[in-house]
């Protein structure tokens, strides 16, 4: 992708002598928690759970992440991609928007400011990384520019010359070499973001190898609302059954999560899967749309419903009427910043709920839903699915959720529970409701 050219040129990693070389082992992901393992906890339902990596307890295995508080149930990663931090005002703006993590930083960023400002970083290896850095970023979209092959990597990045010295593709060797350059067992996660190779173009075995063999946290960036090709190319959205008429929907961000979580589970171990959501106009093509605040919210909530363990915002406009590398800071983001700020406030307020293991329950076949329990209450997240769900819908509740009414969070209203069901309206494809039920 052309929008990644700047990244790949700037992320020609400056690897220092302090870094070890060779094949340092990746700290293992944890085996999937047994579906009913948590049934004995206070207020738990006797229902099947959604397998997970362990939530906050996963981060407790990584010393730097634990020390930084990532194992605290009140913490939920809300990151921004490839920002610059050169002044305390930069951090103040980002924290005011509800962000807590930088995912990739410019080489000119001041890491001391990041740490003293109480922010976290997941970034490429660098000499000035300190306690603020909880994860090393191997690289971005190696699946696309390296390809799913066992050729030998030349050490060059896109735009620098021949990438593979042997074989047509060498992505696995790229990942192996990058992982091998990281300090062994230094208490940081190993994170990579993938793209259309893993999502669409590669076989399940090839994609699963990228996802499982080198990392302890992953993400994938498919921008369903703004990508000019994903809805029309037979090699992209169509590969996952997405058609042009149901492509630009919030629910497809959940589809991205499903694909990544399915690949991640292939080796019987799970790691956190984060969601990427654009906040502006990330493509230069004239026919590419610009995402709206309501669409951002829908994309984020869909990702959460499909078990995203963090939300990462793509903060750059490469096209449209307002070019920017700092959409959530400058005037280019004035239409979406208030909505993103409120959305992040809601997520942070619900962190202790989101950081619990979900239950399996089908509330309504036309809706995407998630059920969680926390502190004596039950939380139902609901929004339209990939091919329907707008208008008036009925959510059938488990019998254990017997109550007279359900509070609709952030909407200053309640809905009655009648005949074991909730009936409510979802006006748009990106509309969502979060219900709190206290029997």
Domains of the chain: 2-354 (3.20.20), 367-437 (2.60.40.1180)
Asked whether the beta carbons of 383 and 251 are under 8 A apart, the reply is yes
Q: What is the mean pLDDT of residues 333-348?
A: 98
- Report how far residue 132's alpha carbon sits from residue 134's, in angstroms, rounded to the nearest whole number: 6
Phi-psi region of 112 (alpha: psi -120 to 50; beta: other; left: phi over 0): alpha
Arithmetic mean of pLDDT over the chain: 92
Q: What is the mean pLDDT of residues 425-436?
A: 98
**Per-residue confidence (pLDDT) for residue 30, from 0 to 100:** 62
Residue 197 pLDDT more than 50?
A: yes
Residue 383 half-sphere exposure toward CB, CA atoms < 13 A: 27
Cα dihedral 118/123/128/129 (nearest 10): 60
Q: What is the mean pLDDT of residues 412-428?
A: 98
Locate 239 and state its tokens. 């590969």
| Structure confidence by residue, pLDDT tens digits, 353-401 | 999 999 999 999 999 999 999 999 999 999 999 999 999 999 999 999 9
Q: What are phi and psi of 336, to 5 degrees?
A: -115, -20
Asked whether the beta carbons of 257 and 306 are under 8 A apart, the reply is yes
Asked whether the beta carbons of 308 and 255 are under 8 A apart, the reply is no
Q: What is the mean pLDDT of residues 43-56?
A: 92
Contact residues for 244 (Cβ-Cβ < 8 A; gap 6+): 231, 232
SS3 120: strand
End-to-end Cα, the chain, rounded Å = 50
- Report how far residue 169's alpha carbon sits from residue 433's, in angstroms, rounded to the nearest whole number: 45
- Report how far residue 300's alpha carbon sits from residue 293's, in angstroms, rounded to the nearest whole number: 11
- Determine what percent of the chain is predicted with pLDDT higher than 70: 90
Residue that the structure tokens 């059954």 belong to: 241
| Structure confidence by residue, pLDDT tens digits, 274-314 | 999 999 999 999 889 999 999 999 999 999 999 999 999 99
Question: Do you know the residue count of the chain?
Answer: 439
Residue that the structure tokens 């951090």 belong to: 91
Residue 91 pLDDT more than 90?
A: yes
Quickly state the pLDDT bin for 406 (edges 50, 70, 90): very high
Residue 28 pLDDT more than 60?
A: no
Quickly state the pLDDT bin for 52 (edges 50, 70, 90): very high
Asked whether the beta carbons of 361 and 398 are under 8 A apart, the reply is yes
**Per-residue confidence (pLDDT) for residue 287, from 0 to 100:** 85
């Amino acid at each position: 992708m052309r929008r990644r050219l700047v990244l790949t040129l700037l992320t020609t990693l400056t690897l220092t002598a302090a870094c070890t070389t060779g094949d340092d082992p990746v700290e293992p992901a944890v085996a999937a928690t047994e579906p009913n393992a948590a049934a004995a906890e206070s207020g738990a339902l006797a229902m099947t759970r959604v397998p997970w990596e362990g939530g906050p307890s996963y981060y407790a295995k990584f010393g730097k992440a634990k020390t930084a508080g990532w194992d605290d149930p009140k913490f939920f990663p809300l990151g921004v991609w490839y920002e610059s931090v050169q002044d305390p005002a930069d951090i103040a703006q980002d924290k005011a928007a509800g962000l807590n993590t930088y995912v990739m930083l410019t080489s000119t960023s001041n890491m001391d400011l990041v740490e003293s400002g109480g922010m976290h970083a997941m970034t490429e290896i660098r000499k000035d990384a300190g306690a603020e850095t909880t994860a090393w970023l191997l690289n971005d979209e190696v699946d696309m520019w390296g390809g799913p092959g066992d050729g030998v990597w030349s050490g060059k990045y896109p735009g620098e010359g021949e990438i593979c010295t042997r074989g047509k593709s060498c992505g696995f060797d790229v990942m192996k070499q990058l992982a091998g350059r990281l300090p062994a067992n230094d208490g940081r996660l190993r994170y990579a973001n993938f793209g259309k190779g893993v999502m669409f173009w590669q076989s399940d075995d090839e994609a699963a190898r990228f996802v499982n063999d080198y990392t302890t946290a992953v993400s994938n960036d498919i921008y369903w609302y703004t990508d000019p090709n994903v809805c029309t190319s037979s090699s992209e959205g169509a590969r996952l059954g997405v058609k042009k008429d149901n492509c630009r929907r919030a629910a497809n961000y959940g589809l991205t999560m499903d694909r990544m979580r399915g690949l991640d589970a292939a080796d019987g171990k799970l790691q956190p899967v984060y969601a990427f959501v654009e906040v502006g106009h990330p493509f230069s093509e004239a026919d590419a749309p610009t995402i709206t605040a309501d669409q951002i919210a829908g994309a984020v909530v869909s990702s959460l419903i499909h078990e995203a363990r963090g939300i990462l915002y793509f903060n750059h406009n490469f096209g449209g009427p307002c070019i920017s590398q700092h959409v959530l800071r400058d005037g280019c983001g004035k239409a979406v910043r208030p909505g993103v700020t409120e959305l992040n406030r809601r997520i942070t307020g619900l962190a202790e709920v989101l950081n619990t293991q979900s239950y399996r329950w089908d509330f309504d076949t036309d809706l995407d839903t998630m059920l969680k329990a926390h502190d004596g209450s039950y939380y139902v997240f609901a929004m339209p699915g990939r091919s329907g769900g707008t208008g008036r819908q009925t959510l059938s509740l488990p019998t254990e959720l017997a109550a007279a009414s359900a509070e609709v969070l952030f909407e200053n209203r309640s809905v009655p529970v009648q005949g074991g069901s909730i009936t409510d309206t979802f006006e748009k494809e990106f509309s969502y409701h979060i219900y709190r039920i206290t029997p």
